[in-house]
Structure 1
């Protein structure tokens, strides 16, 4: 019976293959960067409205949306999160143009084939993942917290899921000193550049005294002027990462002390701009296993073991609030890296079009497993809550 249901879901998705792939190609051609994805978002919203979803636009972010299909009363609230922002000056070299059509395909298939199961299916449009972290903004405004379970899809060199992602904190620090002639009256100057350089040196000293998975990066955005003038302003940027949000909080406190110390040593002042923090996710193995079992059922390409460690994503913040996972579908060469020309070149390929369909089927199959087996969701929540307490 279950295989018959999954075959029906798959047929529903296959019937829309041409529309879904055309939608992805259009988003690819638009290549709208973070915060400017107006046409891409409207393309997805209009299609969902046409298919009977109730759409709310501008959900916490101008180019975000929430599309809902409510079936009866009660039942779980299951979310499918989609991204559609491109990289500035590059385009869709991360495969985000594939996500919206895949998520829509899965949501509509469930609506068409599972009307006897009470539930609410929500497609969330989550912009600006590459820069600001749109999901973080949306969470802060109360969105997505109503979900019982959250799914995502993403293009990849292999079909797999992730174990961990890195928490990330980003800071822009502006040091203020006193300008003076570097040869005639250096004693009257206070170098903002010296403060930045001392902070960089202190971070290098800190590397020896943090856990192995900690990453710390820095750069100078504005050095303050020519060498014969003591610079009165220097702007530096710092990125700190760890696979533990809790441990990263400790590193951030030490970073604040570094900036304070550099300022004291140089008799300068400073201002800190802290960007939205990206959290490491709470891993839920039952959801990972569910997606991978359905990837095997659908004969997805290049199935690989879970990725034990990955970079940073605002989906991690969602997975601190809600259990879920992202299925990554192979559509590039095995050695291709995200944000590369290889990713961009594969964006409208047959493999990319197939990845949309595979992702839609795997997410729809996984939703069907949850809806037809209520005990599964309870098991997922138990694992999630236990992991969250650690």
Structure 2
């Protein structure tokens, strides 16, 4: 069975490479991935999948289903396809999309024999608003036995953890006045923003080493001789777990409230992106994926890094057993979110990584369906942690 899957993915490589290249040549930002979603939907529909367009109210999200019409586990492959402004596919989402559909078709080649079903999800806007958050909240992933995606990287690494994230916008409303002639008649909203930054910097002594707080002043006034009556800042707050995130977020919000109180400004709190949960890798599923990578000739799989970034895949991992491993593209000095990274997805090493990622995902899906023991390990871990 596994040889058939490998052969199927190999036969599909020209089409998968074309998908990766098309997305590379036509980068689209989050929630605007009209061409990308249509390409993947049409491709999967031509291969026998049933398509649901615009699921959960997201116009560029989709669900593609193929069922063996026999009982068995439901395997989810997740595709990302949004690009970065000014950079293009510097995070390799063009490859993630191609690997996801390649995995689905590789597994489909044996599905009628082994049973179960395959669901491919098109998940927009990972870089910004996090489409998987909305999909998870609306139950899109409920009932899956496993949810998987593979991410291109400089080196191959096991699936690990990510940080939970909140995205806050702090707005302050003051009162204008002549900054030299009658400053006592004004209320300086910019002072409130600056005080917020200073208070947060003082807070850093009392947070854990995995906590991250970083922000920018998005509005700070128009002219130095006018007391700013409006100022605002955007902050990301990250922590190792959802519980820790809520605790530190409350402290960060209090910094902003205190700044408003001390300056006399009015304060408004909002969010500018959806929150990400921390990714909880299912270790039994991750181990199966690593075994399949080695079966494909991968000789070096590094342990996952300590968590530092965030991903909406975390929200999926709270719903169903999930993994998010890294597939090395044979160039250890690659830096993500760069034009060079995007370009490297089109290299021969990038194409080899595309094959390995798609094939390992498909083989792991096969293992989950074919091995009751593995499925039980995955489920026991998920429900007991």
TM-score tier by shorter-chain length is over 0.9
1:207 and 2:204 matched: yes
Q: Show CA shifts across 1:199-258 (max 9, x none).
A: 111001110111121111121111112111111000111111111111010011112211
| SS of alignment partner, residue 381 of structure 2 | helix
Give the deviation of 1:341 after TM superposition.
3.0
The 1:187–1:332 alpha-carbon spacing in structure 2 relative to 1, beyond 3 Å, is farther
Q: Is the 8 A contact 1:162 1:309 kept in 2?
A: no
Find the counterpart in structure 1 of residue 284 from structure 2: 286
Find the counterpart in structure 1 of residue 2 from structure 2: 6
| SS of alignment partner, residue 259 of structure 2 | helix
Find the counterpart in structure 2 of residue 352 from structure 1: 350
Find the counterpart in structure 1 of residue 250 from structure 2: 253
Q: Show CA shifts across 1:254-280 (max 9, x none).
A: 122111111111111021121311110
Structure 1: 4+ residue segments shifted above 4 A: none
1:78 and 2:81 matched: no
Q: How does 1:22-37 map to 2 (within 5 A)?
A: 22-37=18-33
Give the deviation of 1:284 after TM superposition.
1.6
| SS of alignment partner, residue 383 of structure 1 | helix
| SS of alignment partner, residue 297 of structure 2 | coil
The 1:221–1:251 alpha-carbon spacing in structure 2 relative to 1, beyond 3 Å, is same
Give the deviation of 1:344 after TM superposition.
2.0
| SS of alignment partner, residue 145 of structure 1 | coil
Distance, in Å, in 2 between the alignment partners of 1:21 and 1:113 is 22
Q: Is the 8 A contact 2:24 2:342 kept in 1?
A: no
Distance, in Å, in 2 between the alignment partners of 1:193 and 1:308 is 36
Find the counterpart in structure 1 of residue 188 from structure 2: 191
Give the deviation of 1:160 after TM superposition.
1.7
1:44 and 2:36 matched: no
Q: Show CA shifts across 1:87-121 (max 9, x none).
A: 11110111100112211111112111231222110
1:137 and 2:137 matched: no
Number of residue-to-residue matches in the alignment: 383
What's the C-alpha RMSD, in Å, of the aligned pairs? 1.3
| SS of alignment partner, residue 318 of structure 2 | coil
* Greater CA drift, 39-48 or 110-119: 110-119
| SS of alignment partner, residue 190 of structure 2 | helix
| SS of alignment partner, residue 220 of structure 1 | strand
Distance, in Å, in 1 between the alignment partners of 2:169 and 2:260 is 15
Q: How does 1:84-163 map to 2 (within 5 A)?
A: 84-163=81-160
Give the deviation of 1:302 after TM superposition.
4.8
Q: Is the 8 A contact 1:300 1:329 kept in 2?
A: no
Distance, in Å, in 1 between the alignment partners of 2:292 and 2:335 is 25
Give the deviation of 1:306 after TM superposition.
2.7
Q: Show CA shifts across 1:347-377 (max 9, x none).
A: 2111111111111110111111111111211
Q: Is the 8 A contact 2:63 2:120 kept in 1?
A: yes
Find the counterpart in structure 2 of residue 297 from structure 1: 295
Find the counterpart in structure 1 of residue 14 from structure 2: 18
Q: Show CA shifts across 1:116-169 (max 9, x none).
A: 222110000001000110101112222112312101011011112232101111
The 1:288–1:308 alpha-carbon spacing in structure 2 relative to 1, beyond 3 Å, is farther
Distance, in Å, in 2 between the alignment partners of 1:318 and 1:63 is 18
Q: Is the 8 A contact 1:301 1:329 kept in 2?
A: no
Find the counterpart in structure 2 of residue 178 from structure 1: 175
Q: Show CA shifts across 1:174-205 (max 9, x none).
A: 11000001111111100000111111110011
* Greater CA drift, 375-384 or 80-89: 375-384
Find the counterpart in structure 2 of residue 368 from structure 1: 366
Structure 1 length-normalised TM: 0.95
Gap runs ≥5 in structure 1: none
Give the deviation of 1:305 after TM superposition.
2.5
Give the deviation of 1:312 after TM superposition.
0.5
Find the counterpart in structure 2 of residue 233 from structure 1: 230
| SS of alignment partner, residue 234 of structure 2 | strand
Q: Is the 8 A contact 2:210 2:307 kept in 1?
A: no
1:337 and 2:339 matched: no
Find the counterpart in structure 2 of residue 324 from structure 1: 322
Distance, in Å, in 1 between the alignment partners of 2:253 and 2:29 is 32
Q: Is the 8 A contact 1:330 1:355 kept in 2?
A: yes
Q: Is the 8 A contact 1:66 1:125 kept in 2?
A: yes
Distance, in Å, in 1 between the alignment partners of 2:181 and 2:97 is 62
